[in-house]
């Protein structure tokens, strides 16, 4: 494998030397990531490294992947207590602005955050796999996050999701709806979103792996088939949609608290803005409050007008035909 995690980059430890201050907190591990991994995840029956390796191999069957400049800075990091590790990978390709992956492994949890962002000339959805695994529970979002409205409009939904409804049904029947979630999130989800929670179970991980592979394969087909947009106003809309998405996730990602505990506020913020949601500072200049004015009251920064933002959607708000039934 050409770009195995932590194996072929001379800069693998550059972040440690440049950003992680306390040397004593990183001496627990030898440079062999596989050995470190076996001590970290011995209690888990899933390894998300297989997921990312599948995705990279599959992508390489279609296109040439070039390491992203981000790889220099973001490749490997230890947690503050020296007991956890974060492995990062990032690439670019034709039609793909950024493919990036974060795997966190500690004694008590594993996290997989994998996303692929198309160039603005393509209105293809953002591929999104977001899995949190602890001894007690698994929190899963797997989706092709739409760039444009799939709730009130049919055009974009028909273009990308109509043919995928049967695939979505196959997996959403196996993975029941995960219950209430931050209500704005639903606008970033597609009719085939897998949003679920389950307790640890090797069989479930097999199904999740299979869902991941199927979803990724259809996403790759989409990006391969997509035709470059030449209408500047449409490109601007795609760009704004991506920026809005990044702005949402950088601000509201429920993993922020965990990340801050693991690596501290400053590194967590840098990881979020510069790596995970890279582009938030470059693709647009609107702020979180421009996109989500309903949050102004929550933060108390503006007048007390607007919605109370909370959790909604107890049940799956899409019917079996992919029609939105969430009100
Ligand atoms: C919980 N993660 C969640 C939830 C969602 C997502 C919907 C349920 C709770 C909620 O909605 O507030 C994921 N939400 C998404 C995604 C989108 C979205 C993918 O809007 C895309 C548009 N998650 C991570 C990382 C960690 C992590 C890096 O991405 C940890 C380091 C953890 N996610 C995590 C945890 C919870 C969670 C701990 C539970 C938090 C809670 O219940 O409050």
- Least confident window among 41-45, 83-87, 264-268, 322-326: 41-45
Pocket of ligand 1 (CB under 6 A): 104, 111, 113, 128, 130, 132, 139, 141, 145, 181-182, 185, 188, 249, 253-255, 258-259
Is 168 strand, coil or helix?
Answer: helix
Tell me if 264 is assigned to some domain: no
In angstroms, the CA 184 to CA 192 distance is 17
Q: With respect to residue 121, please indicate whether it lies within any of the assigned structural domains.
A: yes
Asked if residue 142 belongs to a domain, the reply is yes
- Choice from 255, 264, 270 to test ligand 1 binding pocket (greatest atom count within 8 A of CB): 255
**Residue 181 scores a pLDDT above 80:** yes
**What is the arithmetic mean of pLDDT over 67-93?**
97
Furthest C-alpha separation in the chain:
56
The pLDDT, as a whole number, for residue 301 is: 55
Decide if pLDDT at 44 tops 50: yes
Confidence of residue 123 (pLDDT cuts 50, 70, 90): very high
Please give the Cα distance from 52 to 50 (Å, whole number): 6
Mean of the pLDDT values across residues 264-269?
97
CATH number of the CATH domain containing 140: 3.40.1500.20
pTM here is 0.88
Work out the average pLDDT over 124-130.
98
Asked whether the predicted pLDDT for residue 12 surpasses 50, the reply is no
Q: How many CB atoms lie within 10 A of CB 295?
A: 18
Give me ligand 1 centre to Cα 255, in Å.
5
> How far apart are alpha carbons 238 and 308 in whole angstroms?
28
- Averaged confidence pLDDT in the chain: 86
**Mean pLDDT calculated for residue range 51-73:** 97
Question: In the numeric block, which tokens belong to residue 117?
Answer: 């962002």
Mutation test of ligand 1: which of 111, 212, 254, 275 has the most ligand atoms closer than 8 Å to its C-beta? 254
The answer to the question of residue 291 being in a domain is: no
Q: Are 195 and 171 in contact (CB under 8 A)?
A: no
How far from chain centre, in Å, is Cα 317? 21
- Reading phi first (left if > 0) and then psi (alpha if -120 to 50, else beta), residue 313 is in left
Instruction: Give the model's confidence band at 86: pLDDT under 50 very low, under 70 low, under 90 confident, else very high.
Output: very high
- For residue 196, pLDDT beyond 60: yes
| 269 part of a folded domain | no
Give the chain's domain count: 1
pLDDT band for 8, please (50, 70, 90 cuts).
very low
Find, among 115, 138, 146, the residue nearest to 128 by Cα: 115
What is the residue range of 58's domain? 22-230
Task: Tell me if 224 sits within 8 A of 216, measured CB to CB.
Answer: no
Question: According to the model, what pLDDT value does residue 296 have?
Answer: 76
**Residue 83 forms part of a structural domain:** yes
Pocket test for ligand 1, best of 139, 248, 252 (most atoms within 8 A of CB): 139
């Amino acid at each position: 494998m050409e770009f195995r995690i932590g194996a072929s980059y001379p800069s693998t430890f550059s972040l440690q030397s440049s950003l992680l201050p306390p040397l004593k907190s990183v001496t627990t591990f030898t440079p062999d990531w596989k050995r470190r991994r076996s001590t970290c995840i011995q209690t888990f029956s899933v390894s998300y490294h297989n997921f990312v390796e599948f995705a990279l191999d599959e992508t390489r069957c279609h296109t040439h992947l070039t390491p992203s400049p981000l790889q220099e800075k973001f490749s490997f990091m230890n947690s503050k207590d020296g007991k956890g590790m974060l492995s990062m990978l990032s690439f670019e390709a034709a039609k793909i602005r950024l493919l990036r992956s974060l795997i966190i492994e500690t004694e008590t949890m594993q996290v997989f955050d994998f996303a692929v962002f198309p160039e603005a000339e393509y209105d293809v959805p953002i591929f999104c796999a977001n899995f949190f695994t602890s001894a007690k529970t698994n929190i899963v979002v797997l989706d092709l996050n739409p760039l444009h409205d799939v709730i009130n409009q049919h055009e974009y939904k028909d273009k990308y999701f109509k043919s995928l409804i049967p695939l979505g049904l196959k997996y959403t029947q196996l993975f029941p709806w995960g219950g209430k979630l931050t209500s704005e999130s639903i606008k970033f989800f597609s009719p085939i979103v897998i949003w679920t929670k389950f307790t640890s179970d090797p069989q479930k991980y097999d199904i999740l792996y299979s869902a991941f592979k199927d979803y990724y394969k259809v996403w790759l087909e989409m990006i391969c088939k997509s035709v470059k947009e030449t209408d500047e106003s449409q490109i601007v809309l795609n760009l704004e949609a991506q920026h809005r998405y990044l702005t949402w996730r950088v601000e509201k990602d429920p993993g922020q608290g965990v990340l801050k505990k693991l690596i501290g506020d400053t590194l967590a913020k840098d990881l979020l803005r510069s790596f995970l949601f890279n582009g938030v500072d470059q693709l647009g200049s609107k702020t979180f409050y421009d996109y989500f004015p309903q949050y102004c009251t929550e933060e108390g920064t503006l007048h007390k007008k607007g919605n109370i933002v909370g959790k909604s959607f107890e049940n799956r708000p899409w019917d079996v035909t992919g029609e939105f039934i969430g009100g």
